Amino acid sequence: MLTTLKIYRYDPENGGAPHYDTFTLEAQPTDRVLDLLERVRDDHDGTLAFRRSCAHGVCGSDAMRINGRNYLACKVLVKDLGTTEITIEPLLGLPVKKDLVVDMGPFFDHYREVMPYLVNDEEPPEGKERLQTPAERELFDDTTKCILCAACTTSCPVFWANGNYQGPAAIVNAHRFIFDSRDRAAEPRLAVLARQTGVWSCRTAFNCTEACPRDIKVTQAIAEVKRALVRRKPSARR
Ligand code: SF4
Ligand code: F3S
Ligand code: FES
């Protein structure tokens, strides 16, 4: 079927204003939007810029706005969109470097701030790894699934209004370690998230949960971090 792609274009090196280019091409209902973008680049305009790597929903590099909603281009099929008119735009709230490629720097700055790695300076038990029960593991199972695609943070109206907001992806990745019984750095992470730009800025808009291609219960994870902050020892609060 004939499908029309309206694609956001911007190339700061060539000085032109942002605009949309339209391409009409033959597509199958089972084509992924990523397939169509590759066809446009290969057959119509080799200057079109977008990120992709795995093409199977694992690397998180091809999050973009498709008909006004954040998706991974490699996971959404033409038939899922229910229309042959497809508008493709870069993620909102991050600076556009070229066409559909955004600067992920601010996103990863927020991510790094929450120490997204296991911290434990204690000696491990002799001859074995640090054990935890299935119930302890279950507490953070959901948030281990994050692929750092930024679909959640860039769908959040609080982040659009204030880029200093830590954002749901950073909170999800803090959650993953705060609730890990082997970790010893919950307190410094909670201190980061207790700031004005942390979890209390969340207005429970739920866009993040709807946008997550890994079906992580993002808003629930944020609520659990808020509860952990409330339970914190008074001496640890600011
Ligand atoms: Fe992407 Fe979901 Fe991780 Fe957010 S929580 S960065 S939407 S995988
Ligand atoms: Fe934003 Fe998600 Fe909270 S969309 S306001 S981080 S629930
Ligand atoms: Fe890797 Fe889509 S290209 S998630």
pLDDT score recorded for residue 235: 56
In ligand 3, which atom is closest to the CA atom of 59? 1
| 22-65 tens-digit pLDDT | 999 999 999 999 999 999 999 999 999 999 999 999 999 999 99
Residues 65 and 79 in one domain: yes
Q: Which has more pLDDT, 43 or 233?
A: 43
pLDDT score recorded for residue 156: 98
By the 8 A CB rule, do 9 and 19 touch? Answer: yes
Residue after which a domain boundary falls, among 48, 83, 102: 102
| 109-148 tens-digit pLDDT | 999 999 999 999 999 889 889 999 999 999 999 999 999 9
For ligand 1, mutation pick of 104, 148, 153 (most atoms within 8 Å of CB)? 148
Tell how far the Cα of 91 is from the centroid of ligand 1, in angstroms.
13
**Per the structure, how many domains does the chain have?**
2
- Whether 156 lines ligand 1, by a CB cut-off of 6 Å, is no
Comparing CA positions, the residue from 221, 73, 38 lying closest to residue 151 is 73
- Whether 172 lines ligand 1, by a CB cut-off of 6 Å, is yes
Query: Rounded distance, CA 211 to CA 137, Å?
Result: 25
Residues 126 and 215 in one domain: yes
Q: Which ligand is nearest to the CA of 213?
A: 1
Structural domain boundaries, residue 151? 105-236
Tell how far the Cα of 74 is from the centroid of ligand 3, in angstroms.
6
pLDDT score recorded for residue 232: 84
Residues 89 and 116 in one domain: no
Give the CATH number, domain containing residue 46.
3.10.20.30
pLDDT score recorded for residue 237: 54
Tell how far the Cα of 220 is from the centroid of ligand 2, in angstroms.
10
pLDDT score recorded for residue 222: 98
